Structure 1
Amino acid sequence: MHFTVLGAGAMGLRYGVLLQEAGNQVDFVDTWQANVDRIHQQGGVYVSRDHANRHLVPVKVVLPEDYHDDPDVWVVFTKQMQLADFLTRTAHAFNQNQYVLTCMNGMGHVEKLLNYFQPEKLLAGTALVATVLNGPGDVDFIGARGAGTMNLANYTEQPDDMTHRIVAELEKCQFHPNLTTNFRGTLLAKVVFNSVVNTLCTLFEITMGEFAAYPGADDLSRQLINEAYDVCERDGVTMLNTRAEELDSVNYVSKVANPLHYPSMYQDMSHNRPTEVDYINGYLVKLGRKYHYDAKTHAFLTHLVHLAETTRQANAAQTAAAPTQEASA
């Protein structure tokens, strides 16, 4: 099968490299010029697993304007705030026969993808897979092979033969895909998970394991989960897990699967990049207001993340503007 990955970041590279190793043709399209240049210079991307066994994997990557092939499936892994520009720049390569698969964080991407792809050919889901982009052309897969899991569903909730073929390829990569017929419940399960772990680990600059080790972690998680479920249930969403099962998922991933992992929101914050908090906690706040429900804790955390972003960026700008101090003779 021919896959093209839109977004050669941490998750895009992990999915693409493993799909390529499973025997598929895989291309990458990226808008980060430094990343594209470095991969061209190296002849591929350096891949590690848990900071070890760093090796070069040959891959093909181009800017959107330079891509003119016709894949069977697009695999989309961009940041929410970057997606519209990615799609606009790559639109010349889209057609009505192609499928698209995405497991992006947050909510807001589905509506944008439906502007380019047929509803019955859109697959979306969630990936509990930890990966770190060390820098241009250098990625680290966190966790043992096969440690991650994912859920996905067709937008129409009616899987077809091509859907099952895509799931089979993902199974070869040991992503353990769980195909559901509950589209919104599938997507919102990860939003709720991220609204707890990503946000709190980012604010306190800690790993998932460090968060889970805090004696009051369950109380914090339960408060955020309950508030998120109150919102989702008002919107008529049937969640994949019960509230108790969602707490169990947070604890399992944090304590067992990826205790040493810093979530992607932390990685963005630590590099003074904008976070996706508006598409995670902020999304739950906005959805709650539609039903006159005030998700106060999620609103508070959204503000805290933006305050941290603003403070870090101001400090970085101040440091960059400071004159260099030279030692006097």
Structure 2
Amino acid sequence: MKIGIVGIGALGSLWATKLKQAGHDVLAITRDHSQRSIAIALDEQAEFEIPANDLTQLSTCQTIIITVKSTQVKQAIEPLFDYLASNIPLIFLHNGMGALDQLSDQWNQHPLFLATTTQAAFKPSSQQVKHTGIGQTLIGAYRETEKLTAQLESIIQVLDSALPKVMWHNQINDALWKKLAINCVINPMTAIYQCKNGELLQPQYQTEVDNLINECHQVMQAAGQSPSLSELSTTIKQVMLATGDNFSSMHQDIHHQRTTEIDFITEFLIKQAQRYGIEVPNHQRLFQKVKQLEE
């Protein structure tokens, strides 16, 4: 299968190398469209040479996976519109919620899908990616009109064989809300305190963590999500434990003086809270602190 990958950060590089390793054709789309190839090594293996930025080849891809940050989605894919056949499934894999809502109406002709993953990757250099955590990837429809077709089912099978486990999710919003709650607690706190995920389990952070989880739970309930407070708390703290040695993406963005995804994570939660008349002072405070760090 021929698969385009827009964005060759850690996750994009992981998918590119895993798909290449499985024998598929991969076309990388990078920020610099003049770049004609990229070399990436997965873990300690030999480098893969991957063709890049031949936009005329996009129309021959069976699917496009967009792995750029939520803040970069619109900027990354708008220039590709004229090169994409209208029946190519576009799979968006990024943190946060609301990024696709900013796309222009012309994108309505494309089948759009959302994905969330617990796979973890890290790029120690521009030419190496490390697979730092095994997880699963869920894919579902952005719009109710999109369904699991035979075409998409075969794509999911290919992705699953390259980097298992990949599954269709009929209610992808449920998975996205759960991931949002995890990110709303872990990402801003690790960015502000410049610590690893697992350090948030230390006693000095517990009151703040519990307050943040409680506010997330209130908003999720108002939005029609059903996990209990204890279930949500257990899920978030299990992620802290499982990814204990990892630095969150927001931690890394602040550390490297890059723009974070706070607008599509915490600000999305704040806007939903305002919609339902719910006070979320702890998330408001974290949002303002991260914004100050960005500046």
Q: TM-score, normalised by structure 1?
A: 0.80
2:215 pairs, out of 218, 227, 247, with 227
In structure 2, the residue matched to 1:201 is: 190
Task: Assess if the C-alpha contact under 8 Å between 2:196 and 2:245 holds in 1.
Answer: yes
Structure 1's 114 and 244: CA in aligned 2 closer, same or farther, altered over 3 A? farther
Match of 1:90, SS state, is helix
1:285 matches 2:270: yes
Query: Deviation at 1:187?
Result: 1.7
1:192 matches 2:187: no
Write the distance in 2 (CA, Å) between the matches of 1:190 and 1:83. 18
Task: Assess if the C-alpha contact under 8 Å between 1:152 and 1:186 holds in 2.
Answer: no
Query: Deviation at 1:118?
Result: 4.8
Query: Deviation at 1:220?
Result: 3.5
Structure 1's 31 and 184: CA in aligned 2 closer, same or farther, altered over 3 A? same
1:90 matches 2:93: no
2:225 pairs, out of 209, 225, 238, with 238
Write the distance in 1 (CA, Å) between the matches of 2:103 and 2:165. 24
Counterpart amino acid of residue 253 in structure 2: D
Percent identity, please: 21
Counterpart amino acid of residue 24 in structure 2: N
Higher radius of gyration, 1 or 2: 1
Number of residue equivalences:
291
In structure 1, the residue matched to 2:95 is: 105
Query: Deviation at 1:173?
Result: 2.6
- What root-mean-square deviation, in Å, do the aligned CA atoms of Structure 1 and Structure 2 show? 2.4
Structure 1's 296 and 139: CA in aligned 2 closer, same or farther, altered over 3 A? same
Match of 2:95, SS state, is coil
In structure 2, the residue matched to 1:137 is: 127
Task: Assess if the C-alpha contact under 8 Å between 1:45 and 1:139 holds in 2.
Answer: yes
1:271 pairs, out of 256, 271, 275, with 256
Query: Deviation at 1:46?
Result: 2.8
Structure 1's 254 and 55: CA in aligned 2 closer, same or farther, altered over 3 A? farther
Query: Deviation at 1:112?
Result: 4.2
Task: Assess if the C-alpha contact under 8 Å between 1:73 and 1:101 holds in 2.
Answer: yes
In structure 2, the residue matched to 1:171 is: 160
Structure 1's 284 and 203: CA in aligned 2 closer, same or farther, altered over 3 A? same
- Unaligned runs of at least 5 residues, structure 2: none
1:253 matches 2:239: yes
Report the more deviating stretch, 147-156 or 214-223.
Answer: 214-223
1:160 pairs, out of 143, 149, 152, with 149
Q: TM-score, normalised by structure 2?
A: 0.89
1:81 matches 2:63: no
In structure 2, the residue matched to 1:313 is: none
Write the distance in 2 (CA, Å) between the matches of 1:135 and 1:181. 37
Write the distance in 2 (CA, Å) between the matches of 1:3 and 1:174. 14
Structure 1's 173 and 114: CA in aligned 2 closer, same or farther, altered over 3 A? farther
Task: Assess if the C-alpha contact under 8 Å between 2:250 and 2:260 holds in 1.
Answer: yes
Task: Assess if the C-alpha contact under 8 Å between 2:86 and 2:109 holds in 1.
Answer: no
Structure 1's 25 and 309: CA in aligned 2 closer, same or farther, altered over 3 A? same
Counterpart amino acid of residue 174 in structure 2: G
Query: Deviation at 1:296?
Result: 1.4
Alignment of 1:10-49 (within 5 A): 10-32=10-32, 37=35, 40=37, 44-48=39-43
Structure 1's 223 and 179: CA in aligned 2 closer, same or farther, altered over 3 A? farther
Query: Deviation at 1:263?
Result: 1.0
Write the distance in 1 (CA, Å) between the matches of 2:212 and 2:278. 14
1:304 pairs, out of 277, 289, 292, with 289
Write the distance in 2 (CA, Å) between the matches of 1:114 and 1:246. 34
- Unaligned runs of at least 5 residues, structure 1: 311-329
Counterpart amino acid of residue 44 in structure 1: A
Write the distance in 2 (CA, Å) between the matches of 1:115 and 1:17. 33
Structure 1's 158 and 205: CA in aligned 2 closer, same or farther, altered over 3 A? same
